[in-house]
Structure 1
Amino acid sequence: MQWFRNYLPDSSLSITDRGLSYGDGLFETIATHSGYIPKLAIHQARIKRGCRRLGFNISPEQWQICWAFIAQQALKNPNCGIKLMLTRGSGGRGYRPPTDAAYEFLVGVFDAPNYSQQRSEGVSLVTSRIQTSINPSLSGMKHLNRLENVLAKQELADRAYEAVMLDANGHVIECVQSNIFWITRGELFTPALSKSGVQGSCRTSILSNFVGSVNVGHFSLASLQQADEIFVSNALSGILPVVKFDDRILQLGKLTRTLMDQVNT
């Protein structure tokens, strides 16, 4: 993986950076395809929403430089993955941020994983014992505070490909590194993320491409357990069908296949 700090080759960062001290920042994981970024507008909109919520005052000129550099990397490294991290930099007193932040733009370029086997054969899913936090102030954002996902991934180990995470109210929220969807009697279901979870870029594409009834809300684990089809998604993998959930075997369904053809690059 090659790293750039403020668009120059560099893998170092100050130990006083607020991203390290407090998780004071955001990130995007971006998939490229043949030199371009299919979901660029979705990534741009999400990180800008996050910046507004965190009070990051990024100028249009700074964004222009950032996205031009990322586009350049996509052209140089066809079919790669790109990770953008944005921190508030150093400064401030304790939790109080500096009034004139020196933002750090960190860009990593890596070989994109090959998900062809998972797409064709499907993946397994289990229920995690780690809960997602309920916090409307942070929900939806890809902020740098990801410890609950770290714990869930550690607990998952090699038991399955992914794990379903619930909140303290027992509502299905997401998977460790994916959004989750299911289909019951031809209707699409996915958790509302107004209080917890991450609004994935692929999730946005799925919701806009599905033709039929879409249900976004608060659902119990029982609702997921009764599904006819289940699939997970993230920016790099696209849609992956779930063929086993805990002890239940599922078929790769027709509606999931249709969405895979529409959304997966």
Structure 2
Amino acid sequence: MQWFRNFLPDTNVSLSDRGLAYGDGLFETLSVLHGDVVNLDIHQARLKRGCNRLNFAVDDHFWQKIWSFVDQQAQEYPDSGLKIIFTRGSGGRGYLPPDSPNFEFILGVFEKPNYAAMHQVGVSLTTSPINASINRSLAGLKHLNRLENVMAKSCLPANYYEAVLVDANGFIVECIQSNLFWFYKGRLRTAALMVSGVQGSLRSRILADFDGCIDIGRYTLEDLMLADEIFVCNAMSQIMPVVRFDDKTFPIGPMTKQLMEKINPI
């Protein structure tokens, strides 16, 4: 994996960086296809929205520098994955951030996994024993505080691809590293993310592009069991059909296939 720190090749970061100490930052995982970042506009908007929520006062010049550098790496590595880590840098007193942050921009380039076989046969899904946190102030953000995802991944059985995280009230939020969708009687359903979860880039793309009825709400595992088709998605795997949820099997149905043909890149 090739790493860059503040636009130069580097593998070092300050031990006082607030991203390390407090998770005071954000990240994005980008898929590059034929030299172009897939859904770049959605990633740009989400990162900027996250910076605004965390009160990162990033000026236009720095944004231009970031996205110019991302484009440069996409051209250099035309079929790769890019990971952006953006922290407030060092400084401040304890939790209190500095008045003038010295932002750290970190970018990693990595080889993309090949999901083609799994797209054809589908994957299995179970329920995680780890709950998703409820915090309206952080909901939707792709922030660096990801311990619950680490814990959930650590206890994911080897024969399952993903696990559903519910909150303390038993409502579905998302999966460990994917957003979750399902079809029920021809309607597309997914969890509302006002108090938990990550507004995934592909989730946003699907909600914008789906030509049909969408229900966004508070759902339980019992609701998911009634699904006709299930799929999960993220920037790297794209739309991934689910053929088993615990002991129940599901088809790779026509509506999932139609969305895959429309949205998954060739």
Both proteins in one fold, TM over 0.5: yes
Which residue of 2 is the match for residue 187 of structure 1? 187
Gaps of 5+ in 1: none
After TM superposition, give the deviation of residue 38 of structure 1 in Å.
Answer: 2.4
Amino acid at match of 1:207: L
Which residue of 2 is the match for residue 120 of structure 1? 120
After TM superposition, give the deviation of residue 238 of structure 1 in Å.
Answer: 0.3
Determine what percentage of the aligned residue pairs are the same residue.
55
**What secondary structure does 1:62 align onto?**
helix
After TM superposition, give the deviation of residue 159 of structure 1 in Å.
Answer: 3.2
Amino acid at match of 1:10: D
Q: Indicate conservation of the 8 Å contact 1:209/1:259, yes or no.
A: no
Query: Deviations along 1:52-84, whole A, 9 cap, x unmatched?
Result: 010001110001000000001011111100000
Q: Indicate conservation of the 8 Å contact 1:201/1:235, yes or no.
A: yes
Q: TM-score, normalised by structure 1?
A: 0.99
Quote the Cα distance in structure 2 between the aligned partners of 1:237 and 1:75. Answer: 21
Which residue of 1 is the match for residue 10 of structure 2? 10
Quote the Cα distance in structure 2 between the aligned partners of 1:258 and 1:17. Answer: 45
Q: Indicate conservation of the 8 Å contact 2:30/2:38, yes or no.
A: no
- For residues 89-128 of structure 1, the aligned pairs below 5 Å read 89-128=89-128
Quote the Cα distance in structure 1 between the aligned partners of 2:73 and 2:261. Answer: 27
Amino acid at match of 1:49: R
After TM superposition, give the deviation of residue 208 of structure 1 in Å.
Answer: 1.4
Quote the Cα distance in structure 1 between the aligned partners of 2:207 and 2:121. Answer: 23
Q: Which has the higher mean CA deviation after the structures are superposed, 202-211 or 167-176? A: 202-211
Count of residues paired in the alignment: 265
Amino acid at match of 1:158: A
Quote the Cα distance in structure 2 between the aligned partners of 1:198 and 1:233. Answer: 12
Deviation above 3 Å: which 4+ runs of structure 1? none
Gaps of 5+ in 2: none
Which residue of 1 is the match for residue 49 of structure 2? 49
Quote the Cα distance in structure 2 between the aligned partners of 1:96 and 1:204. Answer: 33
Query: Deviations along 1:75-130, whole A, 9 cap, x unmatched?
Result: 11111000001000000000000001000000000011100011111000001110
Quote the Cα distance in structure 2 between the aligned partners of 1:52 and 1:77. Answer: 30
Quote the Cα distance in structure 2 between the aligned partners of 1:220 and 1:249. Answer: 18
Supply the RMSD in Å over aligned alpha carbons: 0.6
